[in-house]
Amino acid sequence: MYTWHSLFGCLVHTVTFAAALTNFAIAGYNYYTLSHVKRDKLNPVSGAKDLNEYYIVEVSCVSAMILLPLTTGEFLAFVLGLPLGAFLYLRFHQKKHKIDPTELYQYETRNELFRDGKLKLTLATVLFMAHFYYFIVNTAFPFVEFMIYEFMFGKVFGNLGRKIALGFKED
């Protein structure tokens, strides 16, 4: 029933879902840490150290969420990942990807980082929901869809219905 192409698609969607979940957790942690620094509940030096540790993981997760769906032809997932990838690339290109602890003491810089954290959390939430949808639809649903088509077309059209359900492939 499953071909190598559909199994590869399931693997790609599982990896991109794991990357989306990791990116969502990192964005939530960034937002949580920046909100604690903003409210003076956390030392800016330790907050900046904690945030800088996860930058490479965040970039690798976003690049996986952007590039892997191209292998299965999910262009909507690719387009949804582009804004966050462009944002991270812009921050890296402007040399603002590492947070300096002395900048967290300044009110304007702290608010700018907090606003960027909200933007990253929003984009990560959208990506997480999209990849969760793709994960469910492309891993669990094909078997259910096959069974529904087999039942509907097999009862109504007989042998032709079974060929339609199998995609005109021979058993």
Calpha distance 72→10 (Å, rounded): 10
- In this prediction, residue 22 carries a pLDDT of 95
Calpha distance 18→13 (Å, rounded): 8
Per-domain boundaries in the chain: 4-139, 140-171
The pTM (predicted TM-score) of the whole model is: 0.75
- In this prediction, residue 122 carries a pLDDT of 93
Mean pLDDT of successive 10-residue stretches along the chain, which has 171 residues: 67 90 94 86 85 90 91 86 91 86 81 89 92 81 60 57 57 50
